[in-house]
A and B are shown apart, each in its own frame.
Chain A
Amino acid sequence: MAQNTHTLSVNMGDGNLHSGNITSSFNSYVYKTDEDAEIMRWLSPLDPSNRHQGVSTERLDGVGNWLLETNEFREWRNSEGAADNVILFCSGNPGVGKTYLR
């Protein structure tokens, strides 16, 4: 059972000195041995990758882009090293659209 969908490194921007490698851990990964897969299950039974795919696919293009443009978000994402703004908390209702408008 080495088929544990979980993690994989995706390197983006290879070959370009000016763009770093952004590694997403939201993709599938096939473990080398059964023990590797067992270690991963032991570490946590939770598997976030499928959930992200689902939520991400349902999202409407453009919705929420304003957040990415706020100073708070930009500072949080772009600041280097230790900074004042290292934790963002978005507070609101998790499922207005889904719960009430289906």
Chain B
Amino acid sequence: MLLTTRNTSSLVIDSLCDQEGKGDTIVTGLYCDFQIQQEQTAANIMGAILKQLVGRGDIPEYLRHAFQAGKRNFGGRRPRLLDVTEMLRNTIASLPQVFICLDALDECLPKHLPDLLASLRDILRESPKTRIFLTGRPHVTEDIQRYLPKAVVIPISPNTDDIRDYLEMRLDKDSEPDAMNDDLRADILRIILARTSDMCVGVSLISALSVIFTYHGYT
């Protein structure tokens, strides 16, 4: 698979989990997914982060109390964002350093995003040593900068090496190796890489692929 923001998130998460030589850190995160948008409220997303922090050991008493109180009232009331943020703020403040990685913010419903970003802002205010990693389509940049003006923006797109690695992997896994030969393989790499060097990869890449495959009578 090519370099995408989703892959970038997994790469960053794995690299944070693997790193050594740094103080005690805890890596948490969530991949947003438009298929479960309704469930992805700011409270549930931040709740999932808190779950990852408290689930490592015994459940803290404050959380048990909040749960029991919630259960008593209103036929079992779910935690509100305010409560979750408060619990998360206190928990993070008591830990050495927490990394929060949230992938694909654009896949949250737009009405949930401001709440989520405000909650992250509140946590940073309380625990400035927290590190936050976010990904999303470019159109959420404005929202992010409104709540988190210091966010450093890095545009992600596959570079030529990424595309070459990807193509070679796909060619190696070709289900009809008899239809392939060295010349064809070289042609595919050469033409696609030449085309992708000056165009936006994505839909364009698939059209380049189909041109080549059609040309060679290869599917």
Residues of A within 8 A of B (CB): 6-10, 12-13, 16, 18-26, 29, 31-32, 35-36, 38-40, 42-48, 51-52, 55-56, 58-60, 62-68, 70, 72-73, 76-78, 80-98, 100-101
- A86: contacting residue among B9, B57, B128, CB under 8 A: B128
CA distance A31 to B161 in the complex (A): 44
B41 CB to nearest chain A CB (Å): 9
In chain B, positions 35-51 with a C-beta closer than 8 Å to chain A are 36, 39-40, 43-48, 50-51
Whether A88 contacts B1 by the Cβ 8 Å rule is no
Assign chain B's interface to a size class: 35 or more
CA distance A25 to B136 in the complex (A): 22
- B45: contacting residue among A6, A16, A26, A44, CB under 8 A: A44
Chain B residues contacting A87 (CB-CB under 8 Å) are: 124, 131-134, 148, 150-152
Asked if A22 meets B31 with Cβ closer than 8 Å, knowing A29-B55, A46-B48, A60-B166, the reply is no
Instruction: Let me know if B217 is at the binding interface, CB within 8 A.
Output: no
Q: Which residue of B is nearest A98, CB measured? A: B1
Chain A residues contacting B45 (CB-CB under 8 Å) are: 44, 46
Q: Which residue of B is nearest A84, CB measured? A: B150
Q: Most chain-B Cβ atoms within 10 A of its Cβ — which of A84, A95, A97?
A: A97
Q: Assuming A22-B16, A63-B2, A77-B22, what are 13 further A-B pairs, CB within 8 angstroms? A: A23-B26, A35-B64, A43-B51, A43-B63, A85-B152, A86-B128, A89-B148, A89-B151, A92-B8, A92-B135, A94-B104, A100-B206, A101-B205
B17 CB to nearest chain A CB (Å): 4
- A94: contacting residue among B30, B107, B162, CB under 8 A: B107
- A93: contacting residue among B18, B46, B137, B150, CB under 8 A: B137
A99 CB to nearest chain B CB (Å): 8
Whether B33 contacts A51 by the Cβ 8 Å rule is yes
Asked if A94 meets B53 with Cβ closer than 8 Å, knowing A44-B48, A77-B131, the reply is no
A75 CB to nearest chain B CB (Å): 9
A and B contact pairs by CB, cutoff 8 A, 14 listed? A20-B20, A21-B25, A52-B31, A59-B11, A64-B156, A68-B12, A86-B124, A88-B154, A89-B154, A90-B8, A91-B153, A94-B6, A97-B7, A97-B166
Instruction: Let me know if B118 is at the binding interface, CB within 8 A.
Output: no
Whether B132 contacts A48 by the Cβ 8 Å rule is no
Whether A89 contacts B136 by the Cβ 8 Å rule is yes
B30 CB to nearest chain A CB (Å): 4
Chain B residues contacting A94 (CB-CB under 8 Å) are: 4-6, 103-104, 106-107, 135-137
CA distance A23 to B19 in the complex (A): 10
Chain A residues contacting B129 (CB-CB under 8 Å) are: 80-82, 86
Asked if A86 meets B131 with Cβ closer than 8 Å, knowing A52-B10, A60-B169, the reply is yes
Chain B residues contacting A76 (CB-CB under 8 Å) are: 131, 133, 152
A55 CB to nearest chain B CB (Å): 4
B122 CB to nearest chain A CB (Å): 13
Chain A residues contacting B20 (CB-CB under 8 Å) are: 12-13, 16, 19-20, 22
